[in-house]
Structure 1
Amino acid sequence: MPEAGSGARRIPLIPTIIVAAAILVMIGLGIWQLQRRGEKAQALALAAANPGKPAVAFPKLPPVDPALLFRPSSVHCLSVVGWQVEAGRAADGSSGYRHIAQCSTGAEGPGVLVAVGVGQRPDQKPGWSGGQVEGWIGEEPDHRALLTRIGGKAPPLRPMLIAKHAPDGLKPMAPPSAADIPNNHLAYAVQWFFFAGVAAVIYALALRRRNISSKGTQKP
């Protein structure tokens, strides 16, 4: 006969505590993402009305306040120190490549990003070297890793001016729209709940296999 109390020893204490804590953390992250979903919806509603409001000063540092997103603004690009190219859409609805200038604004400071226009080739060299630019406040393209975004540990996106007028050879950018900003927090919440469920099932199966193995080795 097995010894008294052997059933209680079938569930290892320390591994169970660790797995339970991990599952609770994942559930907590899922709940937090649901809360963020509501906050993001409010921010998007605010951004939808911002393009028609008066111009404001361009923010120097991230993150971009939702109250400023898509507000009219302007910057002075002292000189272009680099370019980056992203997929984009022009004001006439055509697709192409957004040319984003990395601008210097002085001897000190973080500089500024300006999406100057849309071209048809990624290797196109815009004939623009800087100057005063009017447009709308936006955010840089989001290339942050999915897991860091899901976990809320991603660095904030830098502000970027979406130019109203394009230099020669490029088409003007499409005006910013709240519809272009996804609200993925529900999907992130579902993923965390899914991870928690998978972890619970895997650990339950591992315990079941362990118990079956221990029964097979018990002496009569």
Structure 2
Amino acid sequence: MRRWPLVPTLVVAVAVSTMIGLGLWQLLWRAPQKDALVASYAAAQGLSPIAFPTAPAPEPLPLFRRATGLCTEVTGWRQVAGENRRGAIGYAFLADCRTGAEGPGITVDAGWAANPQIKPDWRGGPVSGVISPDRVRRVRLVSESGLGGLEPSAAPSPAMIRNSHRSYAFQWFAFALIAAVIYGLALRARRDKEANR
């Protein structure tokens, strides 16, 4: 009886076990955790409004909750891809604001336009809206009404948070299966080669 090569077999066994473990972790822990987080975001939509956090954002982030804030001065504008309430694709105009207090300030989604070159005529003021994720400041306040001549942006919703962890789990399982099959084929080719000597 021919012996299996010890070191390659151990390496493949460890790799396959690790991939299966990562798949189980995604499936049994990360996916339910993300489901619970999205459910908490959905529940936040029905809560009473809060003051927009101008200090470093607390954990967990108060996403999709109604909030009010005060922009005392617009310090800069940036545009990101966005939609209006009719689902038209264009640009959301984000105003970085001072709040009159120490801290990072506030970012306000002032509204939407099809043309990224327009200059919103808004210098600040009170804002009511919904807290949404932001790549630069972690959270921003999406105004419920268009500001400075802009149309209102689409209201943020927990539906924008995707739970991809189950697909990640199946990817890890597929990688483990592929690695095992490839190693099995390599062992068979090695045995056939030795048998033909």
Quote the residue 1:140 is aligned against: 134
1:85 aligned onto 2:110: no
Q: How does 1:17-28 map to 2 (within 5 A)?
A: 17-28=10-21
1:203–1:71 Cα change, 3 Å: same
Given residue 118 of structure 1, which amino acid in structure 2 is its aligned partner? Answer: W
Structure 1, 108-117 or 24-33: larger mean CA deviation: 108-117
1:110–1:20 Cα change, 3 Å: farther
CA distance in 2, matches of 1:21, 1:198: 14
1:93: Cα distance to partner? Answer: 4.1
Structure 1, 175-184 or 52-61: larger mean CA deviation: 52-61
1:163: Cα distance to partner? Answer: 1.8
1:171–1:210 Cα change, 3 Å: same
1:131: Cα distance to partner? Answer: 4.0
1:208–1:44 Cα change, 3 Å: same
Aligned-pair RMSD on alpha carbons? Answer: 2.9
1:96–1:203 Cα change, 3 Å: same
1:194 aligned onto 2:187: no
Greater strand fraction, Structure 1 or Structure 2: 2
1:63: Cα distance to partner? Answer: 7.5
CA distance in 2, matches of 1:20, 1:169: 62
1:126–1:201 Cα change, 3 Å: farther
CA distance in 2, matches of 1:32, 1:63: 26
Q: Gaps spanning 5+ residues in structure 1: where?
A: 143-156
CA distance in 1, matches of 2:34, 2:15: 26
Quote the residue 1:30 is aligned against: 23
Q: Is the 8 A contact 1:102 1:114 kept in 2?
A: yes
CA distance in 1, matches of 2:98, 2:186: 57
> TM-score, structure 2 length as denominator?
0.80
Quote the residue 1:205 is aligned against: 185
The match for 1:165 among 142, 145, 164 is 145
CA distance in 2, matches of 1:110, 1:215: 71
Q: Gaps spanning 5+ residues in structure 2: where?
A: none
CA distance in 2, matches of 1:135, 1:15: 58
State the identity as a percent: 43
The match for 1:44 among 27, 38, 48 is 38
> TM-score, structure 1 length as denominator?
0.73
Given residue 13 of structure 2, which amino acid in structure 1 is its aligned partner? Answer: A
1:160–1:29 Cα change, 3 Å: farther
Quote the residue 2:120 is aligned against: 126
CA distance in 2, matches of 1:195, 1:204: 14
Given residue 186 of structure 1, which amino acid in structure 2 is its aligned partner? Answer: R
1:90–1:141 Cα change, 3 Å: farther
CA distance in 2, matches of 1:103, 1:15: 58
Q: How many corresponding residue pairs?
A: 194
Q: How does 1:106-125 map to 2 (within 5 A)?
A: 109-125=103-119
Structure 1, 133-142 or 105-114: larger mean CA deviation: 105-114
